[in-house]
Chains A and B, each alone.
Chain A
Amino acid sequence: MTPRTVEGVQGEERDDLTKEESRALRRRSLRLLGSLLHPLRWQVVLTMLVIVVSTAGRVAGPALIALGINEGLPALVDEQDWMPIALIVAAYLVTGAIGAVLIAWYQVLAARVSQAILIDLRKRVFLHTQRLSLEFHESYTSGKIIARQTSDLDSIRELLDAGLNNLVQGLLYMVFTAVALVLLDPVSGLVLAVALVPLAALTRWFQVRSQKLYRATRVASARLIVQFVETMTGIRAVQAFRKEKRNEREFAQLTEDYRYANTKVIQLFGTYDPGLVLIGNMTVAAVLLVGGFRVIDGALAVGSLLAIVLYARRFFDPAEEMAEVYNSYQSASAALEKISGVLEERPSVPDPIKPVDLWKAKGHVRFDEVEFAYTSGRVVLPGFTLDIPAGQTIALVGSTGAGKSTLAKLIARFYDPSDGRVTLDGVDLRDLHPKDLRRAIVMVTQEAYLFSGTVAENIALGKPDATQQEIVAAAKAVGAHEFIAALPDGYDTDVNKRGGRVSAGQRQLVSFARAFLADPAVLILDEATASLDIPSERLVQEALQTLLADRTAVIIAHRLSTVAIADRVLVMEHGRIVEDGSPAELIGGEGRFAQLHAAWRDSLV
């Protein structure tokens, strides 16, 4: 297997990666991390500096206490000299204060760094998601891409916020404590070094075990989340088909799996944590024994022994939190691997390197020897050439799966052709400035998605700087004004996530208004009237006739009523255009369209 198999989002779900592949993933994550950290490097250096100084301040305490007992006390007893003890106490206060203030400062600095990284990453993923082509979005489900931007980012945030804090602080603390101990009494340092052996063994055991168990909890929680979200978004169907009881059983099983996985992890801590205390306490006993003999011999001052005991005890304090860091590191690095995978995906519809401007598009669309196949190799549209003069209205007719939508999506540049080129006014769409492309060509689809916000905001999506008058005018033009005005707050009514009280037909009217406001040179309507009632459709048709008078249009509709306003009809079958002509010509003929049309006429009343 070559490392290429893990490129992009491939291999995201696999857990049988070869060494080489894992290394490739790690390199990719590190590259991403590096690029995130690079702009912040001075801030990071400052943060490090602050934490080093503050930890030194915190560790100085026991040594100063020892000094107080060893030097300050005799001076006071023997010579009534307050000076040494006063100096030591002052030093204690100053180091303590410096330590505390700097730690506090460090908290804020670290938060700034981690938040800067997060916001950078958030924006990158968001923008990249928007940039990736529809082909990607069709295979990589919305749930996954949302998880990348929410739960995965959360694990990274957890690592940055709590994890790194604990790790850096803890590590420095242990190192400084060890150094202080060795400086104070090398023999006790030796004892501590011996204690490091079981500590390392225990920690290693913990890490190996927890890595596996932790992964299990993440798998279990992901399943739980999927089931939960699916139930809530599909609650109507759940209730209508009495799936509640069955769901409850399934969910209870998933909850139990999650609980079990979690318990395993917690039990691990249940061993590790007391283990640490045990090692710590045994070390205290050991240094006490070793130190005790030497105090009796006079080789060690009592104050020093106190400091040694204090250090030995405090040395192990951060170990547990540091061990936990490993878990958040695990999940964060898994998250980073996945996120870097998404970021590595190259849009199959990339922005041009040298964009060609097209200030005023006329709307002449041409397919030049175009062939389209999915990356999987399945050919959807075999090679064809098609010329749509500016201003022409085209109706695309054919049964489901004939390739109508694909052809339309090629014009909107949701896809790029695998071969040949699609041009607008002679400019290859791939070279056209994205801004000009989107201004010139707009596609309205059947799924009329409304974003949270007001109705007016949703219409204004077609033209963000539109005035209220323009918005109302657009709504009036497509016959949406009446129902909008009847909403509780009119144009300022909030539509919630699922479109709230707005019916499917009304949503389509809003998305029509959107397109009307955008005022493109080429308009593509893909089943855009499917949910409208007949009077609304009639209004839309009328609006379309004026709207389409001087622009290019491609209309896909199951209902043939739309065809009447077309200048030209294309009948598609199995990806090929099998008939091409004016409506009158085709109706008059004996082809597929004539049959379709006759059947449709019969259904009218």
Chain B
Amino acid sequence: MTSRTRENKKLSTARTLMRVYPFAKSARNRIILGGVSALLAGVVALAIPLVLQWIVDGPMRSGDVSRLWPAVLIVLALGVAEAVFIALRRLFVLTPSTHIEADMRNAFYRKLQDLPVAFHDRWQSGQLLSRVISDLSLIRRYIAFGIVLLVVNIVTIVIGTAVLFYWHPLLGVVFLVSCIPVWIYGYVFEQRYSKVARLSQDQQGDLATAVEESVHGIRVLKAFGRGKFSLQKFAKQAETLRGTEIEKAKAIAGIWLWLLLVPDIAFALCLLGGVWLAAADQLTVGQLFAFFATAAILRWPIESIGFLLSMTFLTRTAIDRFFEVMDTENTVTDPENPVSLGTREGRLVFEDVHFRYQDSPAQFPDLLDGIRLEIEPGETMALVGLTGSGKSTLTALTTRLYDVTGGRITLDGVDIRDMTREELRTHIAMAFEDATLFSASVRDNVLLGRPGLEGEEAQRVLDEALDIAQAGFARELPDGLDTLIGEEGLSLSGGQRQRLALARAVAANPAVLVLDDPLSALDVDTEALVEAALRRVLTTTTALIVAHRPSTVTLADRVALLENGRITAVGRHSELLATNEHYRYVLSSLEDEEARERRESEREERQLSRDAERTVGR
């Protein structure tokens, strides 16, 4: 590697580090003050050997005991000053650095919440977690210690070397020249270490994912008895990580070797040279004494450069990882001049809507390939189609969890992209098939879409929603509606979660209710009850319901059939059943049922006659 490219890399590292500046701007003065304190601490520490030299060459040589006292007192004062300056450095820098960390953390969280679902599909939460916790804490430590010490230690080394030169140029040169290999090896080390460190971080992430999956998928692993099998895979990953960690240790061992060896050689040469100079009367004993005292003080700054550099490069990686997310362009944003819906009616219209996932291969057609559908205010529209036909995707488009890639969706004539997302999502509420509940009380979970609702009104909405969704079981939980549920609380069954999610959507009191197969985990009885109750709500609310079952479809005024990315038929259930073959194929199981029953009864008859024969034969 040429020095030129090396310089470029340094520059880009510096530039990367500077990206944190906007967050650190308000703390700049305190950081500078901290740096100044650190520098003063270094200078004061370096001044101590000067006094030592004076003591050795002065009072000690002359035997003047009375002059020893004040000199020692000066050493003491300098020592106290060093401690004070170190305390000041910490005082100045530490609190602001924690604020910077907190600000970056909040900004990161805000950004992630703002980014569309498409982003979260690509990023595993573990990857994001390591950024928000460990990367940011590394950045904080770097701001508080790393950068300050790096700068200050380099300055201390420069001043210290100057002092060494002052004792004797020859000794200074010997010491300085000996340091050069340390710097050179420092470069080599950075390269090697930052690469391994990054690798190790990634592998740790992979290992964490493997752990998560082994826990979340435990039922599958148990059902097939694949615990050992997954252990083997896990063990292999863990072994790889171990290899990387050993590599890392070897890199660290390398830098330690140099950092310890080189100063030792320098000390040895200086001892030889110093004694020779002293013998030749070029140097007093006091100066020799002070030289080693100074060199001893410089040892730590020199040793620290290696780890500070590696910290610099780790921080650079951390900052890269942080901004990798922060720089992601949000494709689903609020418009500059948002339109607000006056009176809401709830007319939802799909106008030639196209959608394809970003990573979908070019040769594939759009998943939604020109959807045209009008849902009248107050109407309930069922959406029917084969699994994987894009029904869920279509529902996700209505609240802009994804944005259409062509055409537009309008709510009461307004393109949903012309509204703020906040407003749009007050008008349209969703219930998902995989019901996500949060670690909060039942009450808070159900009233999620109605913040600000309080007192009796809140209770009324809550009760009503729970009744409609047949989620009365929640009142029998240990703490009733205040029972904590979610990951941190009580675990509920799939059907129970689905009912609460449905209650949540109903409680939101939207103009349009979008339900993505919301009853799949309910048993037949409960499903019938929910449907009866929903029917009451749906008389006044526009609804789009993804349905797999005839029973759900009967809730709807009309049914839309999704086929090959288009709505191929819209109509009443009975009409479609009579006229549309694909619809029958998708939804009807009656014929199968009758055919099967015929087969069954034939089989039974055969069985009976066979039994009869046997009895006769006996």
Contact = CB atoms under 8 A, between A and B. Distances in A.
A559 B524 contact: yes
A400 B132 contact: no
Interface in A89-147: 89, 92-93, 96-97, 99-101, 103-105, 107-108, 110-112, 115-116, 118-119, 122-123, 126-127, 129-131, 134, 137-138, 141-143, 145-146
B106 A252 contact: yes
A207 interface: no
A33 interface: no
Contacts of B113: 231, 235, 238-239, 244, 247-248
Interface string B281-303: 00001001100110011001000
A603 B523 CA distance: 13
B493 A73 contact: no
Contacts of B592: 538, 541, 561
Interface in B69-114: 69, 72-73, 75-76, 78-80, 82-84, 86-87, 90-91, 94-95, 98-99, 101-102, 105-106, 109-110, 112-114
A426 interface: no
B288 A69 contact: yes
Given A150-B208, A296-B63, A96 B260 contact: yes
Chain A interface residue bracket vs B: 35 or more
Nearest to B548: A533
Interface string B254-273: 10110011001101110110
Given A143-B487, A292-B72, A274 B83 contact: yes
Contacts of A96: 260-261, 264-265, 267-268
Interface stretch (B154-162, B216-224, B309-317, B457-465): B216-224
A403 B232 CA distance: 35
A100 B267 CA distance: 14
Given A437-B225, A461-B226, A503-B388, A535 B75 contact: no
B235 A103 contact: no
Given A296-B68, A446-B521, A461 B84 contact: no
Contacts of A500: 121
B166 interface: no
Contact of B550 (A134, A270, A275, A604): A604
B322 to A, nearest CB: 14
B90 A150 contact: no
A531 B520 CA distance: 6
B341 interface: no
B575 interface: no
Contact of A73 (B124, B279, B585): B279
B277 to A, nearest CB: 10
B215 A145 contact: yes
Contacts of B279: 73, 76-77
A400 B523 contact: yes
Contacts of B421: 239, 242
A76 B276 contact: yes
Given A96-B265, A235-B120, A535-B585, A241 B429 contact: yes
Contacts of B242: 115-116, 118-119
Between B265, B285, B386, the greatest number of chain A beta carbons within 10 A of the residue's beta carbon is seen for B386
B549 A559 contact: yes
A234 interface: yes
A251 B257 contact: no
B495 interface: yes
A357 to B, nearest CB: 15
A242 B425 contact: yes
Nearest to A95: B264
Contacts of B264: 61, 92-93, 96-97, 99-100
A278 interface: yes
A259 B102 CA distance: 7
Interface residues of B, number: 180
B495 A400 contact: yes
Interface stretch (A17-25, A306-314, A359-367, A370-378): A306-314
A211 interface: no
Interface string B360-383: 110010000000000000000000
A241 B448 contact: yes
Contact of B296 (A314, A412, A604): A314
Contacts of A583: 600
B12 interface: no
A438 to B, nearest CB: 3
Nearest to A269: B90
A65 B267 contact: yes
A292 B271 contact: no
B464 to A, nearest CB: 17
A14 interface: no
A172 B56 CA distance: 31
Interface stretch (A36-44, A221-229, A328-336): A221-229
Interface in B539-563: 548-551, 553-554
A266 to B, nearest CB: 5
Contact of B436 (A233, A259, A284): A233
Chain A at the B interface: SS class: helix
Given A92-B271, A437-B225, A449-B220, A146 B436 contact: no
B223 A442 contact: yes
Between B90, B224, B252, B517, the greatest number of chain A beta carbons within 10 A of the residue's beta carbon is seen for B224
A535 B590 CA distance: 12
B361 A488 contact: yes
Given A72-B275, A284-B75, A239 B425 contact: yes
A567 to B, nearest CB: 10
A79 B520 CA distance: 101
Contacts of B203: none
B267 A560 contact: no
Interface string B402-421: 00000000000000000001
B214 A270 contact: no
B250 interface: yes
B487 A226 contact: yes
A68 B215 CA distance: 65
A225 B133 contact: yes
B292 A310 contact: yes
Nearest to B592: A538
A119 B55 CA distance: 57
A267 B98 CA distance: 11
Interface in A201-252: 221, 224-226, 228-244, 246-248, 251-252
Interface string A497-525: 11011111110010100100010000000
Contact of B587 (A88, A281, A605): A605
Given A437-B225, A604-B593, 6 more contacts: A69-B275, A225-B133, A400-B493, A504-B433, A531-B433, A533-B586
18 contacts: A69-B288, A92-B271, A97-B261, A126-B231, A141-B487, A230-B486, A231-B113, A233-B436, A252-B106, A277-B83, A296-B65, A452-B209, A505-B387, A531-B517, A535-B585, A583-B600, A603-B550, A604-B588
